[in-house]
Amino acid sequence: MKIEELKDLILIWGPLSRQGLCYLQEEELGRDFRVLVPENRPFMIGLLHNIPLLKKNGIRSVYCTDNMLGFLFYKRKISELLLFCKDVREKEMTGYCGSLFAVFLAKLHGAGIRIFHQGELTANFTDTDASTLSGKKFISPGQEHLVCRPEDERIEKDLVAGDIGSMKKEAVQ
């Protein structure tokens, strides 16, 4: 697919949930869009969890590498971010590594942001950090200490408050 053909992409970040699937199915009735699925390294959540769920539910998607997100936001191809968080509390949320990156890009480029509780992960994740891909090491032996380990990210609700006014109430409880 050519970039010129892409429009009104809905970016999903984190493990897609049943609630997120329902939202996408409702949206699909009223507009022409595709779901943008980044790989979500290092665990490959996008490839191993999200794409199979989207396919199973008949939702059109397109894959991209994580490092393409900035370019696609810049080109105004992404209209909305669906952020799936581990937990959502009164003043903050906790998301997988890269969640802040996705939120900052969405805010910078004026895309809508919706917050959902994440889905239950059922895939077997062989990668635990950026030193492996599909379980295979691709750094030199003895260099493991140079790799940053992924950590959950805390996102203050004030950061996205202006963008989540229309999200479903059950998503934040």
pLDDT, one tens digit per residue, over 43-86 is: 889 999 999 999 999 999 999 999 999 999 999 999 999 999 99
- Residue 55 burial (CB < 10 Å; 0-12/13-18/19+)? exposed
Beta pairing partners, 82: 12, 114
pTM of the entire predicted model: 0.85
Domains of the chain, first to last = 3-124+154-172 (3.40.50.10470)
pLDDT, one tens digit per residue, over 88-104 is: 888 888 999 999 999 99
